[in-house]
Amino acid sequence: MALSTSSTNSLLPNKSLIQTQPLLPSPKHALPTNSTKPVKFPQPISAVYSPDSSKNPITSDKTPKPSPPAATSSTAAVAVTKTDQVCKKWSVDSWRSKRALQLPEYPNKDDLESVLKTIEDFPPIVFAGEARSLEERLGEAAIGKAFLLQGGDCAESFKEFNAVNIRDTFRILLQMGAVLMFGGQMPVVKVGRMAGQFAKPRSDPFEEKDGVKLPSYRGDNVNGDAFDEKSRIPDPQRMIRAYCQSAATLNLLRAFAKGGYAAMQRINQWNLDFTEHSEQGDRYRELAHRVDEAL
């Protein structure tokens, strides 16, 4: 599961630097038309999910039509009943009762259970406060007050795990975020597809080459990518290594975010350095200077 860098509040632009606008067309920017009919613009979202309604109140410019009391009460009762049922049925292990299409077949079930019990005692990689912070930021993006940027590898690798690769991915997300913030004139929520993105779903459980048929590669936390029988056997011990790599990755990301590496002025200097090696250097330098002036 991909983990976000939402805990790095320093990545998000200061709202006092820019004026946020909803992602809706403005009448003054509408294309000219020969028609005398008034141009209709889409209405803003009237209701979305918010983790804390007191912090992010959402109102509609339209007054909803009243429903018959009987229908309203019965609908509410059904909704409450369904919610209660879901809350009562969910548990940490409730997923085991569901049908799973992408789980690997581990040959040694005892070894699998031993690894799962070991991981259960490990500390969490992401904390509740970080999850709530991201939830609030995503709520702002849902109502057009922020832009969501997500990026990273299709699947992380044990072989390519090093500080340079983590730094470069983090850096390019910051650079993209700065340009998007400048162009969109609104905060950018940056989410990294990293620190836990190891598994790969497969449409076929087996792969065949030159008449040899082996289990498909499902990601480094399940089996190896080398096309041989030993590598393709699912190994639960890989999950422990994936946990450790995820924790180390997120620890480094937090250090980058809070240690000054993510400062806006530094990000713009990276953009200027990029223009020196670009065929369209003048054009990019002009854009970088404009971004710097806006910041």
Pairing state of beta strands 188-193 and 212-215? unpaired
Residue with tokens 């294309």: 31
193 annotated as ligand-binding: yes
154 annotated as ligand-binding: yes
pLDDT of residue 81: 55
What is the C-alpha R_g of the chain?
25
284, 271 contact by CB (below 8 A): yes
pLDDT of residue 60: 44
Question: Cα separation of 261 and 8, whole Å?
Answer: 11
**Cβ-based neighbours of 206, under 8 Å, separated by 6 or more:** 213, 214, 215, 216
pLDDT of residue 291: 67
pLDDT of residue 280: 65
pLDDT of residue 17: 39
pLDDT of residue 267: 72
pLDDT of residue 189: 97
pLDDT of residue 196: 94
pLDDT of residue 87: 55
pLDDT of residue 288: 66
**Stretch (H or E) spanning 229:** helix 229-232
Q: Which residues of the chain have pLDDT under 70?
A: 1-88, 268-269, 271-285, 287-289, 291-295
pLDDT of residue 24: 42
